Structure 1
Amino acid sequence: MKESLKILVIEDDAIEIMKLQRAIASIEQRHTLVEAKNGEHALDILNDKDNLTDIILLDLNMPKINGIEFLNILKNDDILKYIPTIILTTSSNQRDLLECYKIGIAGYILKPLKYEDYVMKVEKVLNYWSCNELIKAL
Structure 2
Amino acid sequence: MDEYSILVVEDNPDDQVLTVRALKQASNGSEIIVLEDGQQAIDFLFGPNSDPDAVLRLGVVLMDIKLPRVNGLEVLRTIRAEPTTNWLPVVMVTSSDEPGEQIEAYRLGANSYVRKPVDFSEFTNHMRILASYWLQVNRLPPPELVPKTPQTKGIFSG
Q: Determine which of 50, 75, 80 is the counterpart of 1:75.
A: 80
Question: Conserved in 2, the CA contact under 8 Å of 1:24 and 1:30?
Answer: no
Which residue number in structure 2 is paired with residue 133 of structure 1? 139
Between Structure 1 and Structure 2, how many residues are aligned? 137
**2:22, 2:28 → 1: CA distance?**
11
Query: Which segments of structure 1 move beyond 6 Å, counting only runs of 4 or more?
Result: none
> How far apart, in 1, do the equivalents of 2:80 and 2:140 lie?
16
Q: Shift of residue 28 of structure 1? A: 5.9
Are 1:22 and 2:21 an aligned pair? Answer: yes
- Structure 2 stretches of 5 or more lacking a match? 147-158
Please name the residue that 1:106 is paired with. Answer: 111
Q: Which amino acid aligns with 1:135?
A: P
The answer as to 2:63 corresponding to 1:58 is: yes
State the alpha-carbon separation in 2 of the partners of residues 28 and 61 from structure 1. 26
**Cα shift at 1:61:** 0.5
Q: CA deviation at 1:31?
A: 2.1
- Structure 1 gaps, min length 5: none
Superposed displacement of residue 74, structure 1 = 1.0
Please state how far the C-alpha of 1:136 moved relative to its aligned partner. 4.8
When the two chains are superposed, the root-mean-square deviation of aligned CA atoms in Å is 1.6
- 8 Å Cα contact 1:59/1:87 also seen in 2: yes
**Normalised TM-score (structure 1):** 0.91
- Greater C-alpha Rg: 2
The Cα offsets for residues 77-125 of structure 1, whole Å up to 9 and x where unpaired, read as 1111111000010001000000000011110011001110011111111
> Aligned equivalents of 2:24 and 2:96: distance in 1?
25
Q: What is aligned with 1:9?
A: 8
The match for 2:45 is 46
Give yes or no for contact 1:57–1:87 (8 Å, CA) kept in 2: yes
Structure 1 residue identity aligned to 2:116: K
Aligned residue type for 1:32: E
